[in-house]
């Protein structure tokens, strides 16, 4: 790239796309490269506009009504974003396998929009939501639960299925537009009581509507709700100023070793066991007690390694411990499938006297 610019795609991906003829360098052949997007890629809306009027994306009042309909009139969240707005972003910026991150997720509109997009095109988009406020469970996560699993509601439920701007070019190709409308009705007609079509502000809008008196059916999808524990501050651990509880340190080490979240239901502190991922078990020899950590009890020994291996002789075992009395070579020679991983506690000197 030229000075001051950077790769918009990984270089190997860019080169592959260029070789496939999917990179456009302008009419002159030396303009700034642009990735070509085709309808066959599953994107039926690929042109981003700099101005999205209310008629296209809705407004905060619509969003507020939507959230109240899902969570009830006592929901105190007053600034939700319209689902239609986020859907518009997803139409332009994602493909059916995208991962969507919302670091300030508020009322959970992003997750709602992702689930709707997946239902409409059969995609497998995934979302990661982050919310630090106290309402994260009762509003953010609860909205996603209700939208995916269903919720009580009285009134009329509406979901926009298709929106197309009416121009002279559209009218000249009216047959194509009518086919698209018919395709939308055929695909989603069974999901709604009726499919409404109207032209408003030079746009054709196709909406699915159903009367709901007791419960709105969920649109599918699932998610895992996680909370963060107290931070494990390594510098304070090294100085001995603070010692995190077993489960907190175990969660951090388990994720570091496996790139997976620790399942607390697997954890057995009394056995020094954290859990299993695929064909590997993870263990942690640790107590939040400085004197204990300096004692021989905190070290991995050959006998302890054998005990650990005996719990599952066909799998590997990763053991975190402050120290060890057995080398990795000896473990290999003895055919004990245990790997030692030292805890970062330089101050914990095992008393060998």
> At which residue do the structure tokens 């709602």 appear?
112
pLDDT for residue 329 is more than 90: yes
CA 316/CA 210 separation, integer angstroms? 54
Q: Mean pLDDT of all residues in the chain? A: 87
Q: Quick one: pLDDT at residue 30?
A: 84
Angstrom distances, CA of residue 293 to CA of 206, 222, 257, 343, 351: 67, 41, 21, 11, 10
Taking residue 219's Cβ as centre, other Cβ atoms within 10 Å add up to: 17
Work out the pLDDT band at 344, boundaries 50, 70, 90.
low
Across 140-159, average pLDDT = 87
Distance of CA 15 to the CA centre of its chain: 29
Residue 275: strand pairing partners: 282
Q: Report which of 100, 108, 103, 44 is spatially closest to residue 82, judged by C-alpha positions.
A: 108
- pLDDT tens digits, residue range 29-41? 888 888 887 767 6
Taking residue 65's Cβ as centre, other Cβ atoms within 10 Å add up to: 13
- pLDDT tens digits, residue range 171-217? 888 899 999 999 999 998 888 999 999 998 888 999 999 887 778 88
pLDDT for residue 241 is more than 90: no
pLDDT for residue 44 is more than 60: no
Across 60-76, average pLDDT = 85
CA 107/CA 78 separation, integer angstroms? 9
Across 56-85, average pLDDT = 87
Q: Quick one: pLDDT at residue 349?
A: 35
**Percent of the chain that is helix, strand, coil (3-state, to 5):** 40, 20, 40
pLDDT for residue 43 is more than 80: no
More confident residue, 112 or 231: 112
Q: Quick one: pLDDT at residue 353?
A: 32
CA 48/CA 79 separation, integer angstroms? 24
Q: What stretches of the chain adopt beta strand conformation (E)?
A: 23-24, 34-35, 99-102, 126-129, 150-152, 155-165, 194-200, 203-212, 215-217, 273-277, 280-284, 299-300, 316-321, 323-324, 338-342
Across 224-243, average pLDDT = 76
Across 93-105, average pLDDT = 94
pLDDT for residue 140 is more than 70: yes
CA 237/CA 272 separation, integer angstroms? 19
Percentage of residues in the chain having pLDDT higher than 70: 90
Q: Quick one: pLDDT at residue 35?
A: 85
Distance of CA 49 to the CA centre of its chain: 27
Whether 143 contacts 71, CB under 8 Å: yes
Work out the pLDDT band at 231, boundaries 50, 70, 90.
confident
Work out the pLDDT band at 97, boundaries 50, 70, 90.
very high
Q: Report which of 211, 109, 113 is spatially closest to residue 157, judged by C-alpha positions.
A: 211
CA 113/CA 88 separation, integer angstroms? 9
Q: Quick one: pLDDT at residue 158?
A: 81
Residue 150: strand pairing partners: 217
């Amino acid at each position: 790239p030229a000075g001051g610019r950077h790769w918009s795609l990984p270089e190997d991906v860019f080169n592959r796309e260029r070789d496939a003829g999917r990179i456009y360098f302008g009419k002159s052949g030396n303009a700034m490269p642009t990735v070509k997007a085709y309808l066959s890629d599953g994107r039926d809306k690929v042109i981003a506009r700099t101005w999205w009027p209310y008629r296209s994306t809705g407004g905060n009042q619509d969003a507020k009504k939507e959230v109240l309909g899902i969570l009830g009139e006592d929901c105190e969240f007053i600034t939700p974003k319209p689902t239609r707005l986020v859907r518009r972003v997803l139409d332009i910026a994602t493909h059916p396998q995208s991962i969507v991150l919302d670091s300030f997720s508020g009322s959970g509109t992003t997750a709602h929009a992702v689930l709707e997009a997946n239902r409409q095109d059969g995609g497998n988009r995934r979302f990661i939501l982050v919310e630090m406020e106290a309402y994260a469970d009762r509003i953010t996560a609860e909205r996603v639960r209700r939208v995916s699993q269903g919720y009580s509601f009285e009134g009329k439920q509406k979901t926009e299925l298709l929106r197309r701007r009416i121009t002279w070019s559209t009218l000249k190709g009216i047959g194509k537009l009518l086919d698209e409308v018919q395709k939308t009705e055929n695909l989603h007609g069974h999901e709604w009581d009726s499919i409404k079509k109207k032209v408003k502000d030079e746009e054709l809008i196709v909406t699915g509507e159903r009367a709901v008196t007791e419960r709105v059916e969920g649109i599918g999808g699932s998610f895992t709700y996680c909370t963060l524990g107290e931070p494990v501050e390594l510098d304070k651990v090294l100085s001995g100023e603070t010692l995190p509880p077993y489960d907190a340190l175990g969660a951090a080490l388990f994720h570091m070793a496996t790139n997976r979240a620790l399942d607390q239901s697997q954890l057995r502190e009394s056995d020094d066991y954290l859990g299993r991922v695929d064909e590997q078990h993870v263990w942690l020899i640790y107590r939040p007690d400085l004197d204990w950590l300096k004692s021989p009890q905190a070290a991995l020994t050959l006998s302890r390694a054998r005990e650990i291996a005996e719990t599952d002789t066909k799998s590997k075992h990763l053991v975190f411990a402050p120290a060890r009395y057995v080398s990795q070579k000896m473990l290999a020679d003895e055919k004990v499938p245990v790997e030692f991983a030292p805890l970062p506690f330089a101050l914990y000197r095992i008393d060998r006297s």
